Structure 1
Amino acid sequence: MGNKENLKICLVGSSGGHLTHLYMLEPFWKDKNRFWVTFDKEDAKSLLKSEKVYPCYYPTNRSLKALIKNTIIAWKVLRKEKPDLIISSGAAVAVPFFYIGKLMKAKLIYIEVFDRIDKPTLTGKLVYPIVDKFIVQWEEQKKVYPKAINLGSIF
């Protein structure tokens, strides 16, 4: 991974709450080389108007078609951008970016959503085995994800 000055970060997530979650990490990413992958929806366009954004396919809810399309997008975007680090708080669009990112030697950080306390999300279950850091926001979530790090709420 590059040093902190030239660290390249991919922030990937659905629009709405997942994107808001990632945006709240601004103190971490604001001075870094970064790009975003999210849905081409009004909330994302408004929040990320001055950011580099790659649109991904939606809706993703348990959709094989969306997974295939987003896997192709992930392959193209990650080959072009070559991030050192990929961060996501979900949802499904994170899965192909994490698996392809892992193949390309990117470090992976997943942040489990705040509102899921005692059960895993599908995305969390799918990426947990391959991430470098799995962050939870409740101590109870460590029963579901034993290797997770509880950093408390980012709200």
Structure 2
Amino acid sequence: MKVCLVGSSGGHLTHLYMLKPFWKNKKRFWVTFNKEDARSKLKNEKMYSCYYPTNRNLMALIKNTFLAIKVLKKEKPDLIISSGAAVAVPFFYIGKLMGAKLVYIEVFDRYNEPTLTGKFVYPITDKFIVQWEEEKKVYPKAINLGSIF
């Protein structure tokens, strides 16, 4: 199994990194911002740099869509996992078209309203994971696995 872990640097990247017991023995690659925290945390990992700022930025969305096509065509992941933010959207939609399974983890600090990225990817994910039972009111088909912290 080959896994693509895609997300913004900072807290989103930290969420994905905390899934290390799952991904540590799998072929994998990362898509995130080329920032110091990402470079430091992923120094021995295969990483593709995406464009930012991503939130509500049409130009970054267009660039990241073309990046998603290029990277996903080359890497052919079986599974794409993200906890946000906006960079996940093009990777999920292109990945879905290419046959990848999609797992989205809604962020820990949202328990009563959806994130913008969550709203966009919810309809196409294979597994949508929340960390609070209250979030299932917002995402009825979600699975509550509790906190990843």
Question: What per-residue deviation string (whole Å, max 9, x for no partner) do you get for residues 17-52 of structure 1?
Answer: 000000000000000000000000000000000000
Residue of structure 1 equivalent to 2:146? 152
- In structure 2, the residue matched to 1:125 is 119
Q: Residue in 2 aligned with 1:86?
A: 80
- Secondary structure (helix, strand or coil) at the match of 1:35 reads strand
In structure 2, stretches of 5+ residues that fail to align are: none
* SS of 1:108 mapped into structure 2: strand
- The count of aligned residue pairs is 149
Using the size of structure 2 for normalisation, the TM-score is: 1.00
RMSD value over aligned CA atoms?
Answer: 0.2
- The equivalent of 1:14 in structure 2 is 8
Q: Which runs of 4+ in 1 moved over 2 A?
A: none
Structure 1 residue runs without a partner (length 5+): 1-6
1:56 aligns with 2:50: yes
- Are residues 1:32 and 2:1 paired? no
SS at match of 1:152: coil
